[in-house]
């Protein structure tokens, strides 16, 4: 796995002493040395010390975005499901804090969408690698008696908890998978499928219509041809087939009307036959385009999944952090 991290920032002046500034500085130093776990934990510590109010909203978004990004980069560098669980827990807690403070309208703001996108990337990696969900912490009774000899031994030899567990009440439910990275441009499958259906339907309709008209025009048996034959026979004109029965139709109203109906049917037959051919060609074109589009999307999606291409960005103090990664 190859991960690339670029940071663009203005020179940072020495920060005044304080818990938030100290934790943030430790996080940035660790990130500059690619110690992602330490960076994420320090930035998460700084985030907890910043009040959740309107004045500090941008600062909290910066710290939360950097911490979640550091958890993801730490996992990319050394896969550990505990990092993904910790990042998901932090993202869930941050999003829950936004909703609690600003209401449902917070979901339409930029900071909420940025964190949601970062969380989707963590959730996709979590599901792709089949990581187990983090166990919820068991609350410790506040009035429990002191441990006895046996309890002390168990406490010393017992298993240690995970790196960072979810905050009380926070959920770690993985949202619908976003692992299949969409192609870089809008899909054209639906328009091509609609065009194929319309073209095929018109081709069939024109073919059926031209077939019906041809059956009326042909001889013998065609209704329009039989009308000309009957009118010519009644008027005493030759009906041997060698003579054009409509040549003298001007002198007989019935024969003239029958010939006019035949001419109109013939023009309709030619028009429908031509349109049927045109729509048949367009049906073939749409079929080829649809097959090509499906193959292109399939190959692109498979390549992105195979190499696990990931691109992300997060704001930071004085600039931004851009991350990109892929697997060989």
Q: Per the omega criterion (within 30 degrees of 0), is the bond before 220 cis?
A: yes
- Average pLDDT of the segment spanning 26-49: 89
Q: Which residue has the higher pLDDT, 152 or 290?
A: 290
Please tell me the predicted confidence (pLDDT) of residue 154: 43
Tell me the pLDDT band of 326, cut-offs 50, 70 and 90: low
Q: CB-hemisphere CA count at 13 Å for 213?
A: 19
pLDDT of residue 90: 93
Cβ-contact 27, 39 below 8 angstroms = yes
Range from 18-32, 140-154, 241-255, 294-308 that averages highest in pLDDT: 18-32
Give the pLDDT band of residue 145 (cuts 50, 70, 90).
very low
Q: Please, are residues 94 and 46 in contact by the beta-carbon 8 Å criterion?
A: no
Give the CA-trace dihedral at 289, 294, 298, 300, to 10 degrees: 40
Question: Which long-range contacts does 93-101 make (Cβ < 8 Å, 24+ apart)?
Answer: 93/166, 93/167, 93/170, 94/47, 94/60, 94/64, 95/119, 96/170, 97/52, 97/60, 101/52, 101/53
**pLDDT confidence of residue 319:** 53
3-state DSSP helix/strand/coil % of the chain, to nearest 5: 60, 5, 30
pLDDT of 64: 92
More confident residue, 26 or 292: 26
Global pTM value: 0.39
Give me the pLDDT at residue 313, please: 54
Residue 178 has pLDDT above 70, yes or no: no
Residues 186-227: tens digit of each pLDDT:
666 677 788 888 888 888 888 888 888 888 887 667 788 888
pLDDT at residue 328 tops 80: no
The total number of residues shown for the chain amounts to 328
Cα–Cα dist 89/92, whole Å: 5
pLDDT at 323: 57
Biggest alpha carbon–alpha carbon distance for the chain:
129
């Amino acid at each position: 796995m190859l991960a690339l991290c670029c940071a663009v920032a203005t020179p940072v002046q020495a920060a005044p002493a304080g818990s938030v500034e100290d934790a943030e500085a430790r996080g940035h130093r660790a990130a500059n040395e690619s110690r992602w776990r330490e960076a994420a934990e320090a930035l998460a510590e700084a985030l907890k010390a910043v009040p959740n109010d309107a004045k500090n909203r941008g600062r909290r978004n910066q710290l939360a975005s950097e911490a979640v990004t550091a958890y993801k980069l730490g996992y990319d560098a050394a896969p550990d499901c505990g990092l993904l669980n910790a990042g998901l827990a932090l993202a869930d807690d941050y999003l829950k804090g936004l909703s609690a403070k600003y209401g449902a309208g917070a979901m339409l703001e930029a900071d909420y969408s940025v964190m949601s996108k970062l969380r989707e990337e963590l959730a996709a990696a979590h599901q792709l690698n089949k990581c187990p969900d983090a166990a919820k912490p068991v609350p410790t009774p506040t009035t429990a008696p002191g441990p006895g000899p046996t309890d002390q031994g168990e406490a010393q030899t017992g298993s240690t908890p995970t790196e960072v567990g979810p905050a009380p009440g926070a959920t770690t439910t993985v949202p619908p998978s976003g692992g299949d990275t969409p192609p870089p441009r809008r899909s054209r499958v639906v328009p091509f499928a609609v065009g194929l259906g319309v073209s095929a339907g018109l081709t069939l309709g024109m073919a059926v219509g031209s077939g019906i008209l041809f059956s009326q025009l042909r001889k013998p048996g065609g209704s329009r041809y039989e009308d000309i034959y009957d009118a010519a026979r009644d008027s005493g004109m030759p009906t041997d087939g060698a003579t054009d029965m409509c040549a003298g139709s001007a002198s007989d109203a019935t024969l003239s009307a029958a010939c006019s109906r035949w001419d109109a049917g013939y023009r309709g037959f030619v028009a429908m036959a031509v349109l049927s051919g045109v729509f048949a060609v367009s049906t073939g074109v749409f079929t080829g385009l649809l097959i090509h589009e499906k193959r292109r999307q399939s190959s692109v999606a498979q390549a992105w999944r195979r190499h696990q291409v990931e691109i992300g960005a997060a704001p930071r103090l004085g600039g931004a952090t851009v991350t990109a990664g892929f697997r060989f």
